Amino acid sequence: MLAAGASRRMRGLDKLAQEVDGMPLLRRQVSMAQATGRPTYVALPAPHHPRRALIAGLDASVIAVPDAAEGLSATMRGAVASLPDCAAFMILLADLVAITTDDLQDVFAARASQPDHLIWRGATQSGKPGHPIIFDASLRPAFAHLSGDTGGADIVAAHQARTCLVPLPDNHARLDLDTPEDWDDWRRGP
C-alpha cells in the first residue's frame, strides 16, 4: 500500500488521516487489505512517520521509503524493492476511498483465473483503468528504474497487451480525493 505521499494539495491536512467509515482513511485501507488474508505492507516516508500511529495495532509491515519526496515512482521503487520474494504483488494507492475488500478479492480472482497475463488491474465498469494493480513478479526488476512522479505507468504501458482489466463497481477503481474541496463534495454525497 502506497502511503508515502505528502498530501500537498490538502493545504496542510493529511488526507490519509481523514475519517472514512469512522476511522482514519489509512487505517481503513490497511484493515480492508488485511481482510483479504494476504500479507500487507505499507510504504511510509520514514519508519516512525506520524502515519504509523494511524495503523497502530494492525498486522502490517511498514516499509520506509526515505526518498518518497521524489514522487510516486520513488515510493514504488523503494516499496517493491523491499518486498519479500513472491509470485506477484498488488499495489494499492492508500487514498482510494471507495475500494473494498471485495474489489481486492475480485482482482486476486482475475489473476487466478487468467494466469497468462502479467498485470491485473481494477477498472471502471466502462473499462477505464484504475487500481488496484497486481504485477507478476517477472516485472519486478523494471521497478528499480522508475523515476519522476508517473509511478508504474511506463511498466503498464509496455505490457498493455498482457493486462487484464477487472471491472469494479461504480468508480471504486479511480475515486481519490486530493483537495479539501474534493473531501467536502464527497462527504455531501450525490
Q: What is the pLDDT of residues 79-120, one digit of tens each?
A: 999 999 999 999 999 999 999 999 999 999 999 999 999 999
More confident residue, 162 or 149: 162
Q: Is residue 188 in a domain?
A: no
CA distance 91 to 147: 17
Q: In which domain, by residue range, is 169 found?
A: 8-183
Q: Which residues, in sequence order, are bridge partners of residue 43?
A: 2, 63
Q: Are strands 119-123 and 129-136 parallel, antiparallel or unpaired?
A: antiparallel
Number of domains in the chain: 1
| Residue at 100 is within a domain | yes
Look at residue 78 and tell me if it is in a domain: yes
Model-level pTM?
0.93
**94 falls within a domain:** yes
H or E element in which residue 109 lies? helix 101-113
The reply to whether 87 falls in a domain is yes
Question: Does residue 1 lie within any of the structural domains?
Answer: no
**Domain with 89 in it: what CATH number?**
3.90.550.10
Could you report the per-residue pLDDT of 65-90, keeping only the tens digit for each? Answer: 988 888 888 899 999 999 999 999 99
Residue 190 lies in a domain: no
